[in-house]
Amino acid sequence: MGELVDGDDGLPAEVVGAWAKEKVDLLCQYVHISSAPRKRYLPPDNTGGAAFIDLFCGPGRSFIKETKEWIDAGPVAAWNRSVACNAPFTRVIIADADQDRLTACETRLIKLNAPVVAKCGLAKETAFWARQKAPQYGLNFAFLDPYSLEALDFKIIKTLALIKRIDVLVHISTMDLQRNLDLHLTSTDSAFDAFAPGWREALQVRSRARTREDLLTYWRELVSKRGISASEDVRLIKGSRGQRLYWLLLAARHQLALKFWKTISPKDGQRLLDL
């Protein structure tokens, strides 16, 4: 979780690395490429609606320390892009465990006339609330952008997958899967317990690469059992020194959503189990 500073609009903003701009760009690209299907659920022709869900919303504004640049982030960026492509979300559902970040994001969205609802709490606890707030017959899109692998509790995906029509863009931290792999394989309180429940019984520990591959395969199987498919196509986000930070991938029930993601995600034709 980055440092909070006074933003260029007077509200708290988060200090981030240059990599955050790539992440926001991918988020906005997906909001844009999926705008045509979303329009079919919007008034006046349809009242199903379309929600954007972010349970790790942050303050909605970021300061890039390397370039001294201010950028919109998370729900604020997604809302602005949905308006720009003439397919605005009918509800923006946000949550965060930090009240200051949540309040800043909510305030920014209110100023933009976004139909926002907000709740403070851990994502694994606010997921059920978000599911209740999402339009039952709408086309919904969730962005899960946690600060660690442990925060990506599988309870979140399990709950959101109960929404009839939902696409989920997921951030998976590479630190716990690569640099901290040995620690989590031997720890009695492992981040993997929340991320991929049942992994201890399901996996046989082998080489580091094979174990990481097996864990990701097992996680994808857990996701598919909830009725949504996790894409093999990913975008690897790197830091300014080339260090691997995290992967972005899409989980969706409809193949068209996975096709959209395949179009915008590959920077070098990356596949999840090749990384």
Tell me if the pTM is above 0.75: yes
Is the residue at 140 inside a domain? yes
Half-sphere exposure of 61 (CA within 13 A, CB side): 21
SS3 109: helix
The boundaries of the domain holding residue 239 are 4-174+231-274
Contact 223, 229 (CB under 8 A): yes
DSSP of 136-170: TTS-EEEEE--SSTTTS-HHHHHHHTTSSSEEEEE
Each residue's pLDDT tens digit, 153-173: 999 999 999 999 999 999 998
Number of structural domains found in the chain: 1
Each residue's pLDDT tens digit, 28-64: 999 999 999 999 999 988 889 999 999 999 999 999 9
Is the residue at 216 inside a domain? no
- Rounded Cα distance between 18 and 27, Å, is 15
Is the residue at 255 inside a domain? yes
**What CATH number corresponds to the domain at position 71?**
3.40.50.150
Q: Per 3-state DSSP, what percentage of the chain is helix, strand, and coil (rounded to 5)?
A: 40, 20, 40
- Rounded Cα distance between 195 and 187, Å, is 14
Each residue's pLDDT tens digit, 6-34: 999 999 999 999 999 999 999 999 999 99
Tally of residues, the chain:
275
Each residue's pLDDT tens digit, 189-206: 888 999 999 999 988 877
Contact 41, 48 (CB under 8 A): yes
Contact residues for 54 (Cβ-Cβ < 8 A; gap 6+)? 74, 75, 78, 92, 93, 94, 95, 142, 143, 144, 145
